[in-house]
């Protein structure tokens, strides 16, 4: 099971930053062709992505919105490239048919980003639009603008859309959604508090825009040692007894739902160990 905690965005027109990001501690690197790249630099950024992929690097790509000329050019270039990205994040996702077109053209995992009221309303339809949809998430800055609400930080105005995307992801059998970026790069305490709240609300992992944010996200996503011990003990009891349900030593009722939670905790702990072995955990 591959568990991605941090998704580091890096501008597609900055080869130096791409190389540094790929060598850094992020679990996943997202080379951005959209917001981080000026219109005049998009063609150069596209060429840089293709060159870096041809060199054997493994990373994700955020294309421009597929309905735009830049997005069409991104999809066309990636579709005809011999080397493919690990996946593609698709911004401004609203139309399941358009998402299917992108997935069919690319043949790699796609991750729609919901950034409008219509995108949120179509969350489940987007999550189930194609077998290659591997996860959904929110683009909160654009969404707040579209909803005409106060965005940024932990704006309570986005509470319902956040819950909506969590429910849609799990209803579709997808991983828990990745949290949107924390734009106050120097406010690491705020990042920690927000990421902890996100985990409690059903998110896992976070998009980041600066390497300094990665250690905080990794720490928050790590399972608590006591929780890992509980999960190990619970699954050990299950393996030895075969009981479908029981009362544990702490007086808590254990059933299939609790077992599923324990399995997730141990999967996360195992993934953390693999990251440490690879030298990617901070």
pLDDT band with cut points at 50, 70 and 90 for residue 14? very high
Q: What share of the chain is helix, strand, coil (3-state, %, to 5)?
A: 50, 10, 35
Helix 42-54 to helix 15-22 angle, to the nearest 10 degrees? 40
How far apart CA 208 and CA 203 sit, in angstroms, is 14
Please give the structure tokens belonging to residue 229. Answer: 């011990």
121 is in an annotated binding site: no
Per-residue confidence (pLDDT) for residue 258, from 0 to 100: 83
> Which carries the bigger pLDDT value, residue 191 or residue 151?
191
Name, in order, each residue with C-beta under 8 angstroms of 134's C-beta and a sequence gap of 6 or more: 87, 109, 110, 111, 174, 175
pTM recorded for the entire structure = 0.87
Residue 132 CA: distances (Å) to CA of 111, 112, 143, 282: 9, 11, 24, 30
55 is in an annotated binding site: no
Among residues 52, 53, 49, the alpha carbon closest in space to that of 62 is found at 49
Is residue 272 predicted with pLDDT exceeding 60? no
Residue 228 CA: distances (Å) to CA of 27, 88, 195, 261, 281: 21, 32, 20, 11, 18
Identify whether the C-beta of residue 105 lies closer than 8 Å to the C-beta of residue 146: no
Is residue 21 predicted with pLDDT exceeding 80? yes
Question: What's the DSSP call for residue 129?
Answer: S
Digit-coded pLDDT (tens) for 231-266? 788 788 777 777 767 777 777 777 777 888 788 788
Please state the rounded mean pLDDT for residues 180-195.
Answer: 96
142 is in an annotated binding site: yes
């Amino acid at each position: 099971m591959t568990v991605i905690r941090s998704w580091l965005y890096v501008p597609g027109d900055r080869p130096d930053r791409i190389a540094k990001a790929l060598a850094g501690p992020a679990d996943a690197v997202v080379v951005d062709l959209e917001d981080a790249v000026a219109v005049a630099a998009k063609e150069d950024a596209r060429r840089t992505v293709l060159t870096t992929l041809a060199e054997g690097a493994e990373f994700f790509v955020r294309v421009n919105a597929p309905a735009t000329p830049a997005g069409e050019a991104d999809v066309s270039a990636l579709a005809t490239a011999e080397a493919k990205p690990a996946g593609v994040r698709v911004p401004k996702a609203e139309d399941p048919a358009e998402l299917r077109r992108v997935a069919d053209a690319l043949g790699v995992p796609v991750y729609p980003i919901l950034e409008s009221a219509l995108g949120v309303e179509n969350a489940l339809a987007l999550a189930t639009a194609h077998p290659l949809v591997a996860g959904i998430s929110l683009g909160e800055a654009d969404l707040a603008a579209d909803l005409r609400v106060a965005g940024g930080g932990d704006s309570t105005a986005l509470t319902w859309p956040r819950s909506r995307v969590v429910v849609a992801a799990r209803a579709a059998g997808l991983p828990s959604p990745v949290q949107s970026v924390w734009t106050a790069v120097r406010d690491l305490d705020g990042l920690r508090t927000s990421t902890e709240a996100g985990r409690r609300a059903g998110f896992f992992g976070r998009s980041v825009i600066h390497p300094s944010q990665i250690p905080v996200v990794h720490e928050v996503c790590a399972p608590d040692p006591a929780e890992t011990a509980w999960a190990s003990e619970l699954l050990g009891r299950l393996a030895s007894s075969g009981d479908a349900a029981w009362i544990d030593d702490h007086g808590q009722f254990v059933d299939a739902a609790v077992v599923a939670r324990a399995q997730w905790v141990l999967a996360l702990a195992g993934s953390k160990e693999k990251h440490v072995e690879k030298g990617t955990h901070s």
